[in-house]
Structure 1
């Protein structure tokens, strides 16, 4: 073999080795890729099976929880238990005229849905208390329908509710209240819910606070009784206003809910008395005001009146306030003149002349009347004779 033939043979061998190596490496790489794909497929299948297994375990855990918070699979026992539970909760929270009716339930998978209608009357506060108790009893129940209609001229509501609750197959015992009761709901305790929901009347415009209309300054005499009448008006016509003392009043100060303030000061000086006017709406609105009382030396006793003595018999001593009523929306005071067997029906602004007394009705309150006689204001209470009306002070102090 010549040199040239040997070189050519070597080149051919190198080419064959190169092609064979490339083919071998290609086959080897393909085998590795195929194995990697198999490993990836098996890993994915393993993860899917682990996920399915985890879901099954979670479902089993949920089912255990559901059974702890569900009614028994016995339909009759569950219906009887839950109906009695509803009635107890409604009565304990103040509902009246309670009617509970079971409806036809329905089967779905491994559970049975019981349904009830509830009708009754309650205030909004009582309904909030019931709702809080309802959801604190943490079982598989809910409101499916709720209707509330205000009762005319009352704080009550006509309330109608539809309620549904679940029984689960495999549940044998009714849930015990202590085992499933929540310590509080998502937004706090009962007071937190009452404070937020009752901030306004849902069936009327927002409540407006009353406004004081009486004077803010008054003069009193040392060691002599002061009687002063507080007054306030409320933008909401039907609201009744009551009055209360604020913090740290001077010793001995008394204030009735109708606004009659009484005090006998024992030292000279200026005293601030905080008073509050509060309306009757739920929730109530109030306004506070400071009353400045200036205590001064008492005025000299007036000289004896030289005018002729009044006759001993005075009809005013035997004329009594027998009642205060509203006639056609207008307040009226009924005065009974016993000597004449005469009934006087007087409203604000009306004048009267009884015996030796002549005067005018200033205001008609609940169970008392403000009258003006000879420039002085007096309070006449039910059952009190006209001649003994309690002085309040000069006209203009109201």
Structure 2
């Protein structure tokens, strides 16, 4: 801005009028408010009041172009009032600009610090400024996934089918009815059928005592029973 306050006022006033016209303001009027205020002998503060009518989209365009130039100015207050039966808004902007001792009346370069204009119109121009605020609904929870078919475990179909003596040693037979696999086990033998794992601890005449992995106690399986139906024996 020029150093001479009168030249600076006239120059900036015309610039605001041209900017309002370019943005689509209607009935725009720019008044100089008060006297230039000198600050520390370094610069002067000039104040202007802009009054106009425009849609929210046109106001967004004005603000975007206002802040897109590299100039020492700012909007101090912005008053927006709706008009009945119209999308127009009544606008009043109070703007301050600085006049520097070595300033020149020339067009400033673009500031280059703003995002693309379309991002501002999407975020601002499509809103109703005077409607009650409605918080965004919480994100919908995803419905729980449908449970899949139960995992098949051959161990649930393993049965103790016989207790025999072989060379003076007791032996239990465990058969998986799904695969036909037959296990012939002695005391101390470990076994695995599907996800069922254990160890034969003691073989009696009509049943066997087994320790299953993950459980320190003993379980009693009677002849003809499913291993999954074993009965836990009391500790000790």
Structure 1: gaps spanning 5 or more residues:
1-70, 208-398
Please state how far the C-alpha of 1:77 moved relative to its aligned partner. Answer: 1.2
* Alpha-carbon distance in 2 for matches of 1:184, 1:190: 12
Q: Write the mapping of 1:179-328 to structure 2, written as runs, cut at 5 A.
A: 180-185=109-114, 188-205=115-132
> Corresponding residue for 1:234?
none
Please state how far the C-alpha of 1:182 moved relative to its aligned partner. Answer: 2.3
- After TM superposition, the score normalised by the length of structure 2 is 0.53
* Alpha-carbon distance in 1 for matches of 2:24, 2:102: 36
Residue from 73, 76, 83 that aligns with 1:144: 76
Residue from 8, 11, 25 that aligns with 1:95: 25
Please state how far the C-alpha of 1:205 moved relative to its aligned partner. Answer: 4.5
> Corresponding residue for 1:170?
102
> Corresponding residue for 2:49?
117
* Alpha-carbon distance in 2 for matches of 1:184, 1:194: 17
Residue from 48, 52, 63 that aligns with 1:131: 63
Residue 161 in structure 1 maps to residue 88 in structure 2: no
Q: Write the mapping of 1:49-88 to structure 2, written as runs, cut at 5 A.
A: 71-88=1-18
* Alpha-carbon distance in 2 for matches of 1:206, 1:144: 25
Please state how far the C-alpha of 1:103 moved relative to its aligned partner. Answer: 1.3
- Output one character per residue of 1:7-61: Cα deviation in whole Å (capped at 9) or x when no partner: xxxxxxxxxxxxxxxxxxxxxxxxxxxxxxxxxxxxxxxxxxxxxxxxxxxxxxx
RMSD between aligned residues: 1.6
* Alpha-carbon distance in 2 for matches of 1:96, 1:199: 20
Please state how far the C-alpha of 1:152 moved relative to its aligned partner. Answer: 0.7
* Alpha-carbon distance in 1 for matches of 2:89, 2:52: 8
State the number of aligned residues: 132
Q: Which structure has the highest helix share of the two?
A: 1
- Output one character per residue of 1:105-132: Cα deviation in whole Å (capped at 9) or x when no partner: 2111111001001100000000000000
* Alpha-carbon distance in 2 for matches of 1:199, 1:205: 15
* Alpha-carbon distance in 1 for matches of 2:67, 2:130: 24
> Corresponding residue for 2:228?
none
* Alpha-carbon distance in 1 for matches of 2:110, 2:105: 13
* Alpha-carbon distance in 2 for matches of 1:200, 1:165: 30
- Output one character per residue of 1:265-319: Cα deviation in whole Å (capped at 9) or x when no partner: xxxxxxxxxxxxxxxxxxxxxxxxxxxxxxxxxxxxxxxxxxxxxxxxxxxxxxx
Instruction: State the SS of the aligned residue for 1:201.
Output: coil
Q: 1:142 touches 1:163 (CA, 8 Å); kept in 2?
A: yes
- After TM superposition, the score normalised by the length of structure 1 is 0.32
Instruction: State the SS of the aligned residue for 1:146.
Output: strand
